[in-house]
Chain A
Amino acid sequence: MIWSNMETLDREAFRKIQLERLKKTVPRVYNNVPFYKKAFQEAGVEPGDIKTLEDVSKLPMTVKQDFRDNYPFGLFSSPQEEIVRFHASSGTTGKPTVVGYTRNDMDTWSECVARMVSMAGVTNKDTAQISFGYGLFTGALGLQQGLERIGASVIPMSSGNTKKQIMIMKDFRTTTLISTPSYALHMAEIAREMGVDPKTDLNLKFGLFGGEGSTEAMRNELIDSWGLFATENYGMSELIGPGVSGECEALCGMHINEDHFLPEIIDPKTGKVLGEGEVGELVITTITKEALPIIRYRTKDITSLHYEKCECGRTTVRMSKIQGRSDDMLILGGVNVFPSQIEEVLLNTEGIGPHYQIKVFKKGYLDKIEVDVELIDANLLDSFSLLEALRNTIKGRLRTVLGIDAKVTLLEPRSLARFEGKAQRVIDMRGAK
């Protein structure tokens, strides 16, 4: 169901609200955040220069490093007494990215997630098991607030302890699973090991997956494993957490809550703003946040925007499935490759499991790639030639996306790493000394 009438406004109404809110956000950061004042001055722009929605492109962009440089509270627009919650995301190196929320921000956040879970089909009749890790991460608590707002029954399970997850899922008659796609695959595997068929012995109807990108092939794998309706959602702590956008039941992109988030697509190399339907990096300006409004945040995610009305009835702009991250993009012998393209090939190949590991390294001046997969089809053991044919099929299909030959290694089931949170399937050793 459509949770809010803000999801069905006509385009002109959206633009009017967005401009109004942008015009309030810009002076807020200019006057409260020295980092932004300086950045505005360097870009030669003042709050008064924002007269139309398109003027947003005159504003300076914000990147993840700016959060680190201003650790912990340097980008905040509100004083501590107005902050009611902190969250943080751990970077791989150095200090975490710290974010804060005022009471109004908490309300905005819950509202955005309430819309998102309603879009996925969840109602107050559902019991939702949250298998994201709790703690400083925004994922688990963000989903919890939104689910509670629509009246669903929440099980704050957190990630890990997978056997117990399955037991609770069975005993509490969980209908909705919230997790990363890779953890959901792992959970299905453990359930089957325990003698529980996720399709017939459980009551799952909806899977809301987020926290990491996934492909259509991964979605199909999740549907096959769990027998549920799988949607994907998108968000990041720098912007609010989960709730920036999510898929509706029509499955044709993720609706952005654009009365709160103003999206643009840019060419990641030149920074030039691209048009509707063009593929580039998603840049978002938060237009209602109080504690931590962010101007033109470079998400690094590669996607495109589509404005025509959706068959679900919503008019909010849709972003297409994330094709990859501009900083995950692998350049192999001059060819640009996203790990998602490799995943698509592997998940569409019969005989192997959905888990994989990619290793990239240099041999002399040449880029080399190794792909490890798990053999699951015992019927291929009748002869060597069947196993070799499988390996050659994978190699051949990978060659069409990679442009170079990968070394493909077949391993036993369950021999590759499993992930309870965000999967780390690509190891690029080219930077290592």
Chain B
Amino acid sequence: MQADYAIIGGGVVGLAAGWGLIRRGQKVIVIDGEDGSFRASRGNFGLVWVQSKGLGAPHYARWSQRSARLWHDFAAELGAASNTDLCLEQRGGYDFHLDEASLAAKVRQYEMLREELGGNYPFEVLRSNALRREEPEIGPKVAGAILHHQDGHVNPLRLLRALAADIVARGGHILSGEHVEDVSQPDGFRLTCRSGRVVEAGKIVLSAGLGAMTLGPKLGFKAPVRPQRGQVLITEKLPKMMNRPSGIIRQVDEGGIQIGDSKEEVGLDDRTTIDTTATIAARAVAVMPGLARAQLVRSWGALRVMSPDGLPIYQKSRTMPGAALVTCHSGITLAAAHARLLPAWLEGADDAPDLEKFSEQRFS
């Protein structure tokens, strides 16, 4: 098989970039791993989130904001093309605090970032009464919440499906159940899969999530990513209980309350544990006491794709010109930027965004 671009990894990062490239007239093949491979795109929280991103790194805050701004148009276009409602809502999101001290500390951080961003950081603090007017289910243990108006959420699985469907509808190819083992560049690129299958392409995008740990060095990247586990809970479908999402609790469009998530350094282990799920449940019940009666239907662990500083990596290979590494730990938030802005950077076009600060050089 031959293409202009071979995308290694069909998670939300690879599919968003691939979709954007097709939209610009490129021929694209996406190669994606097995049914059981680690897939952050299948286990994430679904937030299109700005607050708390880029504390001490305003360029990352700006990049997240830019993507959040593009999300509305992106969702409309992709939704219409694939006949899918992505259930995007961008009416703000909360950060709940059980004590005054942690709330005050967060507010100070946000105020600093707001200054660095020239004032574009619209958040407000809601205290008990104001908060309960917005969210009547919030319990008395919550001291207050930060409401950030640039936040929102989306159905991340529908996003994944819509991207795949529209890539295929526009003539792209998705090869799943194939694991790229080796890449050579005799002339163009030659990708060899574990099954023996060979794919040829002019350029490649390495968006294999944690798969970049092994494949990256073969392509001349450091790819310093590591797994970080998050455990997430989902309840039975419930009548509407929340008007906006928070960083730890949100009501998904189908009705379930999704609760997360932990941050654990446990290597390539995506199991759940009672200690952590119980802690997550206890925190959720403290925030919304009514949840105590909700039935937990399922829990899962998923592995984040983390760089050392938590920021995305966009890097073009020096040893294999035409290969690019794209990875991030907020692939949902950044999906709009990856679909709309990144393709120009991959092509080296004039309208490419400046992503210099996100290169791997920062880790040397």
Same complex for A and B? Answer no
